[in-house]
Amino acid sequence: MTALADARRRAGLTALYLGIFATVWLSVPENEPPWDALLVTGSIAALLTAGAGGALAVRSRAEGPLSRDALTDRKYLVIFAAELAAAGFGAVLLAVTGRSEDIPVLIGAVVGIHFWPLAPVLRDPALRVLAALVCTAALAGLVTGMVSSVPPGAVVGTGVGVLLLGYAIGALIRGGMTLRASHP
């Protein structure tokens, strides 16, 4: 597989996965009109982005076999397993201590943190910027929940969903640019 096709495949997979997760995050907050319509619109845009990312990844597969690295796959799985364990354990702990409203904050922070070690594994240094922004959205949700009647999940869900959608769209744009570069 050529370097451009590999970059296109990675961009497509990024858009696919982050588009799906953006849909999930945008589904967390319960809001009144007009915010609920905007969240539904964002969820639809995220699903469309995920579909376009999947199509880009499939199209790049037609250009040759996928390059796989067992060490990279193991690192990815270890990071993903640690993320799931931390989020799951933390969510259970918050639920049994009567702090279930803070579960989205914890999960948002864990998701943000997991992007940091993924950046070198996925060869995408911009994931570190996404990590900082997602952690900031989690912190904003925590602070908002402490000083107002706005539920933390509304802030975190909307913030993380929008950030993931924006990054997924950026990945599609990068993937489209590699497509144009390889087919003048």
**Residue among 6, 43, 1, 10 nearest 118 (CA):** 10
Q: What is the pTM of this model?
A: 0.91
Q: What is the DSSP letter of 98?
A: T
Give me the average pLDDT of each 10-residue run along the chain (184 residues): 80 96 89 78 96 92 74 94 97 97 97 97 94 98 95 94 97 83 61
Number of structural domains (the chain) is: 1
- Cβ 121 vs Cβ 76: under 8 Å: yes
Distances (CA, A) of 165 to 34, 77, 124: 20, 23, 16
**Residues 165-179: pLDDT tens digits?**
999 999 999 988 876
Which residue do the tokens 């570190």 mark? 128
Residue % of the chain over a pLDDT of 90? 71
The pLDDT, as a whole number, for residue 179 is 66
Amino acid code (one letter) for 115: F
- Cβ 64 vs Cβ 1: under 8 Å: yes
CB neighbours of 151 closer than 8 A, spacing ≥ 6?
A: 29, 30, 101, 145
Amino acid code (one letter) for 182: S
Q: Which domain holds residue 130?
A: 3-182
